[in-house]
Chain A
Amino acid sequence: MTSQTSTDYEKYYVPEKSSLAVMATIGLVLSVFGAANFINGLTFGEPGEASPTILYAGLFVFAATLFVWFRTTIRENIAGMASGQLKKSYVLGMYWFIFSEVMFFAAFFGVLFYVRNLAGPWLAAEGEGGRMNYLLWEGFQFSWPMMQTPQEAVGGAASQLIANNGAFASAKQSMSFAEAHHWYAWLPLWNTIILLSSSVTVHIAHTGLLDGNKKKFNLWLAATVALGVLFVILQVAEYYEAYAHFGLTLNSGIYGSTFFMLTGFHGFHVFMGMTMLAIQLMRSLRGGHFTAGDHFGFEASSWYWHFVDVVWVFLFLFVYIL
């Protein structure tokens, strides 16, 4: 193995020592410590005792640090310190981050699959000679969406034979299409249309940028952000409907659990993606950032946006339709 030096290479930028990581750690640790304290206070403490102050303080430090962190990175890039190779590291980082998010959602879709195809039918007497049903949950019938929990089937929490960890009261009505609505009032359908179009608009914005047409870029990016906002608003309306009119809550047994877990985490990711895109829009409008050849911040946000879009398609299929 020889070690003569090669001549043509770009120097890889290794930043000087930096306090960003430590600040981000303080923010993150305060956030989770505050969150744990707060949640425990809600569940186990005296009423009114729980306080989210530490949580908010942590989130504030964390958000501020992220802001400075990204600003630093952007400034370094504008100053020409980021080599092509470093940019490739960012690209790889974003790819694998999105992959980790895919696996996060895969876990919840796996749960949905499992309860619908395995746990539910077994509770309703399939498998093991039906023992599970007649010994513990006599009379429980399985259907999806689950409109009667096993607990309700045996006559409520007081009469169940295994440990009682709360009352699970089913929804009055499910959120899926068949039961719920006139098609035009069915929010998930509108949300599907909105998200799918927003993937198109963000793509058009990208082509604008590649053509060097910043006006087109700004316009279509703004449209994408607007669609994102609309989605979030409709999703809030959907939750309001669920709680107020359909009786579907976190307490509604596994149907409510999976419904809110999947749509909730998805909605949160839409919110994040929308925020990311909005920041890119601000950068473009106020800072004049991005050129046809250099716009990773925008590209990464748009990949993320396509990702939440794809998740929604699966969600629409498996949570609402099938």
Chain B
Amino acid sequence: MIERPELKEVRRQIRLMAREFGAEYWREVDRTRAFPDAFVDLMAEKGYPGALIPKEYGGLGLGPSTAAVVVEEINRFGGDASVINAQMAISSTLVRDGTDEQRARYLPGIASGKIRLLTVAATEPDSGADMSHLESYARLDGDHWVLDARKVLISLVEHSDLMILLVRTDRGPTLFLLDRKELGDKIETHSVTLIANRLTTTLFIDGLRVSDVARLGPVGGGLKCLMKGFALRRLLAASESIGNARFFLDRSIEHAKTRITFNRPVGQNQGVQYPLTQAYAKTEAADLMRWDALRLLESKQDASGRSALAKVLASEAAWEAGRAALTSFGGWGLATEYDIERKLRDASVFVFNNMLLSYIAEQVLGLPKAF
């Protein structure tokens, strides 16, 4: 496959950033469970948060392929693309379903990086993946809404100026776009520490009154609005995973060629070669599927099935590549100084695929609906 030259240049530019934001930087961010401020600021200065935002709102109006190579390349050089991914992907819901007023108020700031919209709060303690049983609730009181919500595993909310919140109303699930400045003491967060640096929290909102202006999309249309963004989100998750897979492969192949034991490179042993080759084959296949899905998405065709397949294949390829990296590196794969263990932890957040497999079974294979 021949990639468009400007995408190659995007890749090259991201790789150049690795000189300034090398392994030391990411290790420290990971170790201290910090937000990668300096890196995110540089990305903002260079216009990346505006990649997918239309030109009339100060963005660049580019297609998802650009976003895909950006997150892939950050992960491939050993960085962590999760924040940039969130910044590019989540704003698409506001682009699609925001009112003119919401768009004009927030999109230019999001495009320039001055406003961070990094969070969608959907998951709840008692329903998990099952979004049809939300307990968080918005009650209509005159022309205002009163919001009560309890959400878990919510990423980046403490670093986000805006947040999209999914709650139930009497007319079905509905989204709200909340401005942190206006939340005051009506919101409480407690961090939940995960294996990877995802800055997740439990989130409580208690009796917050907001005007109807804060509603995002139609009343009762909350899940639909989120679902319209799923193809993009899956493809960016796939791209992050492909970046992770290539990180493991690049490092492992180099190590396998140069590490000598028993008087020969460890990569001369089939026991090391085969896992790497298998992981490479799966990564390449996932990559092709990802481009096929991107092609559909960019030409405004239905990319739902292909994007789901790409996400499943890519996340599994990355996991397998991480496992192969451990075989190449031996014990050193678990030492922080080689970064394999850090990326393994990063790659772990993408391996939950059951919901997608059910979706593919039903939508692509035509099997009976599972739930």
Chain A complexes with chain B = no
Instruction: Report which A residues bind B (CB closer than 8 A).
Output: none
On B, residues with C-beta under 8 Å from A are none
